[in-house]
């Protein structure tokens, strides 16, 4: 088997050849998104407006007010949309609530903060408390509902879907987060991994069956570097930490999960040779922030919006609570509230996905060279 670089060049050559023969050139002009708080642009705000993410100082950097995003500003999905010249992707439940579904032809975001890949009942049976039941299954039901409405009112609905970029995640992180918050063991949490992967694979298969042709599937971030986990699992044993001060055992679990996810994506590529399946390597795109934060202008693992402790995180007084204030300049921090990142960190990660080596095959190649949503991809790692 050839190298990844060789496979990428072969795929690119095939894509260009197909394009020259057929004359098709369908750049991604629409985004449909599924996931959790790393992608939610306002759905949970419709469901539960009292959630802490919707109080000041959330949204202070870019929007200057809470925007329905669990950060101080824009998320990865916002920067991807900007890079493609696409308007910010609106939350589906907001459009539905205000009778604005006609604008969903320009894209829709089905992600809900706190969501899991697995259904609520699966986690409940295992003694794990999830914050909501807006799982990937529920989000797919919303998409089918939207698609039915779109196809009832538009003859080009299938063209819209084929020319769209589908962001399938990040999703699954909360399945592990909820278990970790309850201090479940890693061996027990690893037993959930096949089920999480199956939920994501099933969603990808269904979206392709519904006409999706370009799908980005992200892995998880380095959870061992988050202030919340560093506080919950703080230890006097220096061997539990890496050279950056992150929890080694937790990042090793994330690496394990991400490797399994990539294997599933490779299997899906063989099953769907006419779809573009992009693995978004959030983990390695984020690592430079922690490996050398001072060179990049960040102060390390301490977060912007918190209330004391070595990482400025306090489980009893979190960002959004009365009396908890944010730093003066969030752009100088990686972590925003202990679990979510700042706009500056999300921008850095997105740049690594679009312009760097952290998307496989390269997102820039597929989505910026008229070789994207309308083309067939034979990239197989």
Does residue 351 have an active-site annotation?
no
> Tokens for 264?
């599933």
Q: Where are the beta strands (DSSP E) in 154-273?
A: 164-168, 214-218
Q: Which of 85, 86, 132 is nearest to 109 (CA)?
A: 86
Is 241 strand, coil or helix?
A: strand
Task: Give the Cα separation of 30 and 105 in Å (integer).
Answer: 8
Contact 34, 168 (CB under 8 A): yes
Please tell me which residue in 67, 175, 272, 340 is annotated as part of the active site: 340
38, with CB counted inside 10 A (0-12, 13-18, 19+), is: buried
Please tell me which residue in 33, 37, 67, 71 is annotated as part of the active site: 37
Peptide bond into 13 cis (omega under 30): no
Quickly tell me which residue has 């988050």 as its tokens: 226
Does residue 64 have an active-site annotation?
no
Is 287 strand, coil or helix?
A: helix
Task: Give the Cα separation of 351 and 348 in Å (integer).
Answer: 5
Does residue 272 have an active-site annotation?
no
Q: Measured at the alpha carbon of residue 343, what is the angle toward residues 62 and 305, in degrees to the nearest 5? A: 95
Please tell me which residue in 33, 337, 360, 372 is annotated as part of the active site: 337
- Cα torsion angle, 172, 176, 178, 181, sign: negative
Within 10 A of 178 (CB to CB), how many other CB atoms are there? 19
What's the N-to-C CA distance of the chain in angstroms? 9
Residue positions annotated with a catalytic role: 37, 337, 340
């Amino acid at each position: 088997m050839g190298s990844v670089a060789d496979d990428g060049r072969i795929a690119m050559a095939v894509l260009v050849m197909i394009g020259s023969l057929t004359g098709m050139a369908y750049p991604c002009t629409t985004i449909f998104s599924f996931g959790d708080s790393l992608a939610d642009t306002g759905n949970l705000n419709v469901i539960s407006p009292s959630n802490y993410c919707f109080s000041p100082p959330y949204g202070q950097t870019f929007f200057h007010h809470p925007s329905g995003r669990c950060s101080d500003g824009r998320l990865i999905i916002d920067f991807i949309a900007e890079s493609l010249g696409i308007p910010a992707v609106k939350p589906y439940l907001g459009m539905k609530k205000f009778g604005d579904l006609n604008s969903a032809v320009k894209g829709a975001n089905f992600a809900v903060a706190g969501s899991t890949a697995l259904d609520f009942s699966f986690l409940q049976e295992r003694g794990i408390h999830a914050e909501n039941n807006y799982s990937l299954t529920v989000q797919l039901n919303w998409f089918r509902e939207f698609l039915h409405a779109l196809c009832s009112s538009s003859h080009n609905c299938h063209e819209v879907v084929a020319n769209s970029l589908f962001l399938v995640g990040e999703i699954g992180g909360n399945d592990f987060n909820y278990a970790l918050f309850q201090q479940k063991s890693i061996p027990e949490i690893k037993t959930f991994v096949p089920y999480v992967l199956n939920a994501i694979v099933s969603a990808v298969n269904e979206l392709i069956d519904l006409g999706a042709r370009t799908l980005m599937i992200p892995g998880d971030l380095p959870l061992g570097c988050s202030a919340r986990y560093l506080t919950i699992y703080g230890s006097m044993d220096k061997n539990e930490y890496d050279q950056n001060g992150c929890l080694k055992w937790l990042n090793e679990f994330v690496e394990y999960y991400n490797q399994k996810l990539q294997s599933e994506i490779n299997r899906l590529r063989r099953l769907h040779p006419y779809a573009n399946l992009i693995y978004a390597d959030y983990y390695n795109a984020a690592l430079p922030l922690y490996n050398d934060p001072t060179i990049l202008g960040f102060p390390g693992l301490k977060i912007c919006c918190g209330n004391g402790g070595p990482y400025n995180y306090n489980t009893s007084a979190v960002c959004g609570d009365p009396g908890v204030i944010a730093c003066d300049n969030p752009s100088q921090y990686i972590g925003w509230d202990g679990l979510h990142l700042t706009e500056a960190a999300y921008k850095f990660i997105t740049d690594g996905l679009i312009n760097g080596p952290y998307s496989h095959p390269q997102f820039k190649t597929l989505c910026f060279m008229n070789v994207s949503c309308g083309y067939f991809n034979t990239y197989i790692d």
